[in-house]
Every structure is written in C-alpha cells, then in structure tokens.
Amino acid sequence: MQILRLSVCVRLLALLAFPLLAATPAAAQATRTWVSGVGDDVNPCSRTAPCKTFAGAISKTAAGGEIDALDPGGFGAVTITKGMTIDGGPNAGGILSSGVQGVIINAGSNDVITLRNLAINGAGTTLGTNGIRIIGGRSVLIENCKIYYYSNNGIDFEPVGGMNVMVVNTTIQNCANSGVFVKANGAFFARLSMTNVRLNRNGAGLTVQDNSLVFVRDSNAADSVGNGFIANSTFGGAAQLTIENSSSSNNGNAGIVSQNAAAAVRVLNTTIDHNNGAGLVPLAGGQLLSAGNNHTMANAGGDGSVTGSISPI
C-alpha cells in the first residue's frame, strides 16, 4: 500500500511540474543577445553561446532589448516587429539580402528601433529590393551604417502612421531608384532628419513625396543618375525639404528640384555644382527658397533659379 501511494504521489508531482517545464522556453527572452559568424540559431544567443542570424536572435530578445554582433559575420535579413537595438559592433556586422529586403521595420506605434554599425548589402545574382523598409513604429535611428546595391531604395520610408526617422553618419550608394525615398501613406507626416549622410551613385539621391517633412544637414548627393535632391508633391500632399550646409554635385540631371504646388525646398549655405542639368529647378509651381548664402556654379544646364527667399530672423 505504501509503495502504491508513493507511486501515485510521484506521478502527481510529474504532472504538476510538466507545465512549468514547458513554459520555460517561451519565457526565456533576454534583454541582451548575441550573434556570431560561428554561432547557431539553436543556441540561447548568450555571449558564450551566440546565435547565427539576426532573425534567429530576435525571437529570443525581449522588447526593448539589444542584439549585438561579436564578429564581422553575415547575419541575414531580418524583420523587426518590436522596439529594440541591433548593433553590428566595431566591425560593422553584415546583412546580405540578395533578392529580398535587408531590414523590414513594422513595429508598434510606441516602439523605438535603433540600427547601428551595419553593412547592408543587396548584391548578388538578383539585387535586393530595399536596404531598409520602414513601415511602422514610433521612431527609428539609423547610425553608422552602409547600405548599397539595391534595385529600389537604400532606405524606403513609407509609414502607415506618423513617425520619425533619423539617419546619422551613413553612406548609401548604388541603389537604382533613390538612396532615400520618403512618402507617407495617409493623412499624417513622415518626418525624417539626415545628418552627415553620403548619397552616392544612386538613381536619385533623396526623393521626398507627399506628407513628408525632411531636414538634411552636412550631407551630399553626388553622381546620381538623375537628380540629387527632389521634393515632388505627387498627390497634393505637402512635400517639404530643408537642405543646410550640404552639397549636390556631379548628378546626371538637376542638383535640386521642387515640383508641384505643395512642394517646398529651402536651401541654406549649400553648394550646387557640376550637375549635368540645371542647378536649381522649380517645376509646376514648386517653391524653391534660398537663404542667399548658397553657391551655385558650373552646372551644364545653367545655375537655375529660385522662387523666393528665406528671411533671416
């Protein structure tokens, strides 16, 4: 009888313990996880047992957490649906995304995302589509990154709700459409700030369309197939662009374009030179406003014109 009672007790304890054991993996999300070129996605993504890919690490990283790269490996394309930081480390961790998008950000309206020290490369038999595709979130910081070889845009910022994006100390090149493309998909604003950004050898350097408010400083658009900077209100929404202390040079078409009535470009202390088209081009009622301290020279289509001035305070 005692043996029978003991057997029943052991079975009851085992049944009670099973749900707790089953729940453990689901709860095992860390605030900080790691990836390595010699890692494995079956690992817990700890520093001593890192994962192989960003996609493998993201499910094991808590919201608001951080994924860090231990070495300069290639860590694969990734979709981000929650607030977090991905840091490629001092060796600029790589994302190779031939045929697909490098990073998709489609997070919640209160989520904050940081991408830092990443080399995002779409080269391959079939080019990647976009380097970074931003759809949803509260804000995104892209810092110290390199984005290159995409068939569409380096950064494609087309949110479905109002949000802010900041791009700092970043190079974007060899993207067939635009280095950076901005357009809000709705009656809200896509807000973008760019500082020390190099837009080189893209279809266009920066394209700003409807319901977008963009500020550019200490940056350059060069060697584009088409225009260096363009604001174009395609459906009547405000396309506003301010360019300060920057340059637009050696582009295949115009240096700076403002197109259609709801487009406005403000230019301060900026050099526009050696473009194959005109330097400054207002089209179809677009506003192109100068602070009077810009330098426009040696453009094959002439230096162009502005529609007005910015009054000093």
Tokens 């081009």 belong to: 281
pLDDT value at residue 28: 67
Closest to 160 (Cα-Cα) out of 133, 191, 136: 136
CA 199 from chain centre, in angstroms, equals 13
pLDDT value at residue 1: 44
Does 35 reside within a domain? Answer: no
3-state secondary structure of 25: helix
CA 177 from chain centre, in angstroms, equals 15
Range of the domain at 141: 72-309
pLDDT value at residue 24: 40
CA 276 from chain centre, in angstroms, equals 29
pLDDT value at residue 313: 63
CATH code for the domain of 142? 2.160.20.10
Does 157 reside within a domain? Answer: yes
| Contact criterion met (CB below 8 Å) for 158 and 184 | yes
Over the stretch 142-180, which tens digit does the pLDDT of each residue have?
999 999 999 999 999 999 999 999 999 999 999 999 999
Closest to 65 (Cα-Cα) out of 37, 84, 79: 84
Domain count, the chain: 1
3-state secondary structure of 4: helix
**100 vs 163: CA distance, rounded Å:** 24
Does 24 reside within a domain? Answer: no
Closest to 80 (Cα-Cα) out of 36, 137, 145, 23: 137
Does 20 reside within a domain? Answer: no
Taking CA atoms, 158 is separated from 49, 177, 298, in Å, by 37, 14, 35
Question: What are 226's two structure tokens?
Answer: 């088409």
Mean pLDDT, 10 residues at a time, the chain of 313 residues? 45 46 56 97 97 97 98 95 96 94 98 98 97 98 98 98 97 98 96 98 98 98 98 97 98 98 98 98 98 97 97 70
**306 vs 133: CA distance, rounded Å:** 33
Tokens 């990073």 belong to: 103
Over the stretch 271-310, which tens digit does the pLDDT of each residue have?
999 999 999 999 999 999 999 999 999 999 999 999 999 9
What phi and psi, each to the nearest 5 degrees, are found at residue 240? -115, 130
Does 58 reside within a domain? Answer: no
CA 255 from chain centre, in angstroms, equals 23
For 221, residues 6+ apart whose C-beta sits below 8 A from its C-beta are 179, 199, 200, 204, 205, 206, 228, 229, 246, 247, 248, 249, 251
pLDDT value at residue 87: 98
| Contact criterion met (CB below 8 Å) for 97 and 107 | no
Q: What is the pTM of this model?
A: 0.91
Does 213 reside within a domain? Answer: yes
Taking CA atoms, 181 is separated from 91, 117, 164, 255, 256, in Å, by 27, 21, 14, 16, 15
pLDDT value at residue 91: 83
In one letter, which amino acid is 266?
R
